[in-house]
Structure 1
Amino acid sequence: MVASQSLKTSESQRVLKEAADLMPGGVSSPVRAFKSVGGNAVVFDSVKGSKAYDIDGNEYVDYIGSWGPAIVGAANEEVNAALAEALKKGTSFGAPSVLENELAKLVIDAVPSIEMVRFVNSGTEACMSVVRVMRAFTERQKILKFSGCYHGHADMYLVQAGSGVLTLGLPDSPGVPKASTETTLVAKYNDLDSVRSVFEQNKGEIAGVILEPVVGNSGFIPPTQEFLTGLREITEQEGALLCFDEVMTGFRIAYSGAQGYFGIKPDLSTFGKVIGGGLPVGAYGGRKDIMSLVAPAGPVYQAGTLSGNPLAMTAGIKTLEIMKRPGSYEYLDKITGRLINGLLEIGKEYGHAVCGGHISGMWGLFFCEEPVTCFEDVKEKCDFDKFARYHRGMLENGIYLAPSQYEAGFTSLQHTEADIDRTLAAARVVMKDL
């Protein structure tokens, strides 16, 4: 069944108009404002399973899942029940709790590279903290990242490469001091030659390399096995650390994360989203000799009032428990594969240049010819105007997609064959009219 195209948004627009005077852009995070796709955003009232409901009473099949955390389905009954029990004991301790041990053991047991972990409150905080550790351990200052990879909004990460200049760190936001990005180097994703060039130009100065092992913030872009293997070899040869930012991929594409999926063992990793089960959480971890530098075991300072929050730990523990059950990732792969393959087939049937793919429950669709291997391909080849019209059409037909060609999509264990049928039926209507 395809929803009516007469989308009612009067209440959403009333709330967003008021919000514009209360919060910058009327939102708490930029992409929610639909600036990349145009048209008016909608205001959610509730979520359940694979569905989202706005304050005008519209129902959507939801493919953002709170940007990834809702892997077991939104407002999951088991997670909610665990939270209800935990709530009786208090919302925050500011002191050690056994729940931290439990979640830490789950992460350490699951992820190949993790011997010790520190919990924080967001992916941004995890990525900010891990840089400090990399610099302290190597006694070097420079960090290499990749264009189009997002590691939170800390100053050192808000860098763009500039046309044809892969190694020049330039601030990508007003308010970011040039000094904050002078030690940030940028290379091209899936391009080992660009990495080698950066290392050659900065011999003995690079503390570490950080990357999304599967890019989700330039749209869905998988790595080549050669690229990840080459990064591991280059960093070892150069005495630099390798950090996988698994905030998006951790426990999403496999229970062991991208590093387990691809068989690459980084020195450090960052996490978020899934390990908090929908509550604010982040973590970073890795080899014990590196993590032992973190205070109070070592001299590298990092702290947080709400770190290890008992509610976040509870939601994470229950979410990982559910994901560890037999068949979870096989189901995600099956349902997501049917979704993306159907969307590609329909797009091509109606004469559109489309490409995309998935790994487990993470997926993406581009309006451009293949291949898309890096951020530069998306920026230079993709039809953003067509994506904006496609996004609006799908929204009006009851399908909530990430409002940007630069964002990946997510499925959950609660997405059903009926949800996929509904999505593909909507796509057929929209693709035909584009």
Structure 2
Amino acid sequence: MHHHQMSARAFEAAREVIPGGVNSPVRAFKSVQCDPVFIERASGCRLFDVDGNAYLDYIGSWGPMILGHGHPEVRAAVAAALEDGTSFGASTWREVALARRIVDMVPGIDMVRLVNSGTEATMSAVRLARGFTGRKKIVKFDGCYHGHADGFLVKAGSGVATLAIPGSPGVPDEVVAATLTAPFNDLEALEALFDREGGDIAAVIVEPVPANMGVVPPDGDFLPTLRRWTEELGIVLVFDEVITGFRLAPGGAQERFGVVPDLTCLGKIIGGGLPVGAYGGRREIMAQVAPDGPVYQAGTLSGNPLATAAGLATLEVLSRPGVYDLLEERGRALAEGLGEAARRHGVACTVQGIASMATVFFGQTGPVRNFDDALRSDTGAYARFFRAMLERGVYLAPAQFEAAFVSLAHGWDEIEVTVQAAESAFKELAG
């Protein structure tokens, strides 16, 4: 039986000085009806909380820890960078090395600009698309989350869905009026939208595999058709690969599906656990960014020496042969193991995964293809499952509409232990 006294005390103290006691809403554990666990440290695929409980970690800091926590090469790189100084607000060689590595690995990126978060990356990419095309409107897909910039908080997936917030107060109607939405995987709706508004659309932004309504793979023809149509209409196609970048393949979703966007947003893995984002793409579009061009974007901590050191070390490890095959096999083993355990105990759910990420959608019988499908999930059942797994030492996302992430540090033994824990949790749920 886990005890959480210290976590409970920490949460009480947090609520006095931080809204909701957390610096990112999903951490509040609201949708899983319990108090959050405060983490003290992490190692490999394990987290340790302030009460001394250990957990197998399937959040991986929401994706960046693809090598596991405290990877020796990443730690060594950050330690070496720390010796030289933490921030200069000036050019450093590591920025160039990280940019070079990104350009070499990601098919659609000729030039890249480093920023500090995924939200900064998507915000900047859309501004750039507007500047490049001279058009105003953008299209996003229901349930895709692109950070919390004003124009994106329309049908924005996990955090907003979990807390049942309708878009967001504080976002002016005029700003959202320029954001059009369409259902993911629905080419018919998209065609109608393009027929009506095509000439005014600067950009279409999409998570090539959404992970903020849970993992929803694109239909086979969805991304290729989207690419063809945007090209015909002179619309900038933006892939938000903050989660999928370096996760689905060395070159991200665009490599895996063979569909190359005009601009790509990155984050998470390229910082190896430190705050980094990036946006990059075709040279002629990136040439519009200041100081080369008129589209302004800046950042004091962009290209930070510690963050670039961690990112470089992470991408170096990921470039080694066999890494992605291993991640793929372990991700598949987890997804299949969870699905079989649920079936054995007659728990209705659909498990969807790709590469090293997966989601168990509770109360679902068929595939989840879009946000409306995802919203039919039984969030109460997910909450019970989450608590049962936490009790058994497995730390999953505290929200139905998120992904579980497998890292290189998750061995076969850990995956087996996880599936056994799920087996017992499903049995409890079914009972």
2:327: which partner in 1?
A: 332
Q: For residues 128 and 134 of structure 2, what CA distance do their matches in structure 1 show?
A: 10
* CA deviation string 1:371-404 (max 9, x = no partner): 1001110112x11111110000000000000011
1:373: which partner in 2?
A: 369
How far the C-alpha of 1:18 sits from its partner, in A, is 0.8
Q: For residues 357 and 120 of structure 1, what CA distance do their matches in structure 2 show?
A: 31
Q: For residues 26 and 18 of structure 1, what CA distance do their matches in structure 2 show?
A: 8
Q: Residue 46 of structure 1: SS of its match in structure 2?
A: strand
Find out whether 1:392 has 2:392 as its counterpart.
no
* CA deviation string 1:150-191 (max 9, x = no partner): 000000000139xxxxxxxx9711111111111000001011
Aligned residues of 2:249 and 2:324 also touching (Cα < 8 A): yes
Q: Which amino acid aligns with 2:294?
A: P
Q: For residues 210 and 427 of structure 1, what CA distance do their matches in structure 2 show?
A: 36
Find out whether 1:173 has 2:165 as its counterpart.
no
Q: Which amino acid aligns with 1:196?
A: E
2:148: which partner in 1?
A: 153
Q: Residue 235 of structure 1: SS of its match in structure 2?
A: helix
Q: For residues 209 and 124 of structure 2, what CA distance do their matches in structure 1 show?
A: 21
Q: Which amino acid aligns with 2:122?
A: C
Find out whether 1:50 has 2:45 as its counterpart.
yes
Equivalent runs, 1:35-434 vs 2, <5 Å: 35-160=30-155, 172-367=167-362, 368-380=364-376, 382-434=377-429
Q: Which amino acid aligns with 1:370?
A: G
How far the C-alpha of 1:225 sits from its partner, in A, is 2.2
Q: Residue 118 of structure 1: SS of its match in structure 2?
A: strand
* CA deviation string 1:271-306 (max 9, x = no partner): 000000000000000000000000001000000000
Aligned residues of 2:144 and 2:155 also touching (Cα < 8 A): no
Aligned sequence identity (%):
52
Q: For residues 171 and 39 of structure 1, what CA distance do their matches in structure 2 show?
A: 23
* CA deviation string 1:65-105 (max 9, x = no partner): 00000001111111001110110100001001110110011
Aligned residues of 2:137 and 2:200 also touching (Cα < 8 A): yes
TM-score w.r.t. length of structure 1: 0.96
Q: For residues 413 and 155 of structure 2, what CA distance do their matches in structure 1 show?
A: 42
Greater share of residues in helix: 2
Q: Which amino acid aligns with 1:69?
A: P
Q: For residues 188 and 291 of structure 2, what CA distance do their matches in structure 1 show?
A: 40
Deviates more, 1:367-376 or 1:150-159: 367-376
Find out whether 1:15 has 2:10 as its counterpart.
yes
Q: Residue 351 of structure 2: SS of its match in structure 1?
A: strand
Aligned residues of 1:171 and 1:178 also touching (Cα < 8 A): no
* CA deviation string 1:296-332 (max 9, x = no partner): 0100000000000011110000000000111111110
Q: For residues 320 and 361 of structure 1, what CA distance do their matches in structure 2 show?
A: 16
Q: Which amino acid aligns with 1:207?
A: A
* CA deviation string 1:220-279 (max 9, x = no partner): 111112000110011011111111000000001110100000000100000000000000
List alignment gaps of at least 5 residues for structure 2.
157-164
- RMSD after superposition: 1.1
Q: For residues 263 and 34 of structure 2, what CA distance do their matches in structure 1 show?
A: 41
Give the paired residue count: 420
Runs of 4+ with deviation above 6 angstroms: none
Aligned residues of 2:338 and 2:351 also touching (Cα < 8 A): no
2:160: which partner in 1?
A: none
TM-score w.r.t. length of structure 2: 0.96
Q: For residues 356 and 104 of structure 1, what CA distance do their matches in structure 2 show?
A: 36
Aligned residues of 1:243 and 1:269 also touching (Cα < 8 A): yes
Q: Which amino acid aligns with 1:110?
A: M
Aligned residues of 1:86 and 1:310 also touching (Cα < 8 A): yes
How far the C-alpha of 1:354 sits from its partner, in A, is 1.4
